[in-house]
Amino acid sequence: MTVAFEELDNSPKESFDDGSFTARRRFKVAWNDRLDFLQELYGGYKMVGGQFVFVPRASYPPVPQAIVTNVEIEPYPPDKPSDQITALSNGINGYPYAIVAATYKIKEDNSQSSANQPSLPSVPDGTFLTYSSDTGGEFLMTPGAAWKSSPGDKTLKDEVGVPIFIGHEDFTLSWQRVARPPWAAMRDIRGHVNASQFMIYEAETVMYLGSRPSIEFQLQQPSTWKLEHRFSVKQIEKTASPGSYVGWNHYWFDEAEAGEHWLKLVDAEAGGDSPYQTADFSKLFQFG
């Protein structure tokens, strides 16, 4: 049921700050309807017939990309409570009306990307992802005998080490407003690497480390969750194919195979499994 409201004078107000857009609207609703109106503004997931149904957040009509990000409620008239309490256990003061101030902003989600942010995995409607990363690397010491000069084909002595740089990246995908986390996938995929390309990363170059879940409050049940999925990238450029990369299951061998020093490891006795098993990471971004 839609809550009756009145938009007040001098509403809305709009502001532009260095490319960002903010709008603020003020409404008057019956005091006893204020929380229902708040739920209409914020949207979220609710249970209908045992199924999750998504109710989108209210958007700002002239700029539909802007959605409600903050709501403040105050009584009206502020000095005339209709039901004034005298004991803490009796509830709260009642008033004829509530003034509801809603702030609208354009919120970054998984549909937006840039040169500095890889395209993100698809997620269910009403949820969104944010991306953050920390890049770095390490040096691997290789034997001098594995290298030669060009020109001249001169070799180094074994005791002369040649350091090569191995790029690392740790990144987090924060998945917000998750109605039902994929608990089983989060447990089962820990320590696995991507079976196929994931975002911009080649197969077996990304390891899933785990997630940090936290509850996001909703006025009506069920509450939603924020899942901070953590990943670690190990990208190794192949010696025989510059521009192509391998990852967690590949190791340096002094003796090259067809010009390639980075070769895949497999179990010598138990069926040829690699140290890190592969998994479908898309399961981490589906409701459980």
Q: Is residue 164 part of a domain?
A: yes
Rounded CA separation 112/118 (Å): 10
Give the pTM.
0.73
Binned at pLDDT 50, 70 and 90, residue 219 comes out as low
The arithmetic mean of pLDDT across residues 175-194, rounded, is 95
Cα Rg of the chain (Å, integer):
28
**Which of residues 75, 106, 137 is at a domain's end?**
106
Q: Are residues 177 and 145 in contact, defined by beta-carbon separation less than 8 angstroms?
A: no
User: Are 138 and 205 in a shared domain?
Assistant: yes
Question: Looking only at Cα atoms, what is the longest distance across the chain?
Answer: 95
Which pLDDT band, with edges at 50, 70 and 90, does 186 fall under?
very high
* Residue-wise pLDDT tens digits, 62-83: 999 999 999 999 999 998 788 7
The total domain count for the chain is: 2
Q: Are residues 170 and 225 in the same domain?
A: yes
Model pLDDT, residue 156? 83
- Same structural domain for residues 264 and 143? yes
Q: What is the pLDDT of residue 192?
A: 98
Residue 133 within any structural domain of the chain: yes
Is 217 exposed, middle or buried, given 0-12, 13-18 or 19+ CB atoms closer than 10 A? exposed
One domain, residues 156 and 207: yes
Specify the DSSP element, H or E, that contains 98: strand 97-106
pLDDT digits (tens, 9 = 90+) for 70-128: 999 999 999 878 877 778 877 889 999 999 999 999 875 544 444 445 689 999 888 88
- Which tokens is 192 given? 């696995």
pLDDT at 153 (0 to 100): 82
Residue 141 lies in a domain: yes
d(CA 162, CA 167): 16
Top mean-pLDDT range of 32-46, 76-90, 274-288? 274-288
Question: Strand, helix or coil at 269?
Answer: coil
Q: For residue range 252-278, list pLDDT tens digits in order.
A: 998 889 999 999 999 887 777 899 999
Query: Same domain, yes or no, for 172 and 64?
Result: no
Q: Which of 73, 106, 139 is the last residue of a domain?
A: 106
Q: What is the model's pLDDT at position 148?
A: 80
Same domain, 149 and 278: yes
CB 178 within 8 A of CB 225: yes
Q: Which of 49, 75, 106 is the last residue of a domain?
A: 106
Amino acid at 133: S
Who wins on pLDDT, 56 or 61?
Answer: 61
Closest CA to 39 of 247, 220, 233: 220
186 in the same domain as 149: yes
Domain containing 158: what range? 128-285
> In angstroms, rounded to a whole number, what is the distance separating the alpha carbons of residues 180 and 76?
38
Q: Quick one: 250 exposed, middle or buried, by C-beta within 10 A (0-12, 13-18, 19+)?
A: buried
CA distances from 90 to 73, 75, 83 (A): 21, 18, 10
Same-domain status, 15 and 93: yes
In a shared domain, residues 154 and 265: yes
Q: Is residue 122 part of a domain?
A: no
CA atoms of 171 and 118, how far apart (whole Å): 11
Quote the mean pLDDT of the chain.
88
pLDDT at 13 over 80: yes
Same domain, 225 and 178: yes
Domain assignment of residue 242, yes or no? yes
Same domain? 176 vs 281: yes
Q: Does 181 score more than 60 pLDDT? A: yes
Banded model confidence at residue 140, pLDDT cuts 50, 70, 90: confident
Q: Give the least confident one: 50-54, 115-119, 174-178, 243-247.
A: 115-119
What value, to the nearest 5°, has the Cα angle with vertex 13 and ends 7 and 17? 155
* Mean pLDDT across 196-205: 95
Contact 176, 234 (CB under 8 A): no
User: Has residue 225 been placed in a domain?
Assistant: yes
* Domain match, 98 and 144 both: no
* Structure-block tokens of residue 23: 């709008």
How many Cβ atoms from other residues are within 10 Å of residue 118's Cβ?
Answer: 16
Note the pLDDT of residue 220.
Answer: 59
Q: Is residue 121 part of a domain?
A: no
Question: In the prediction, which pLDDT does 111 show?
Answer: 42
Question: Does 113 reside within a domain?
Answer: no
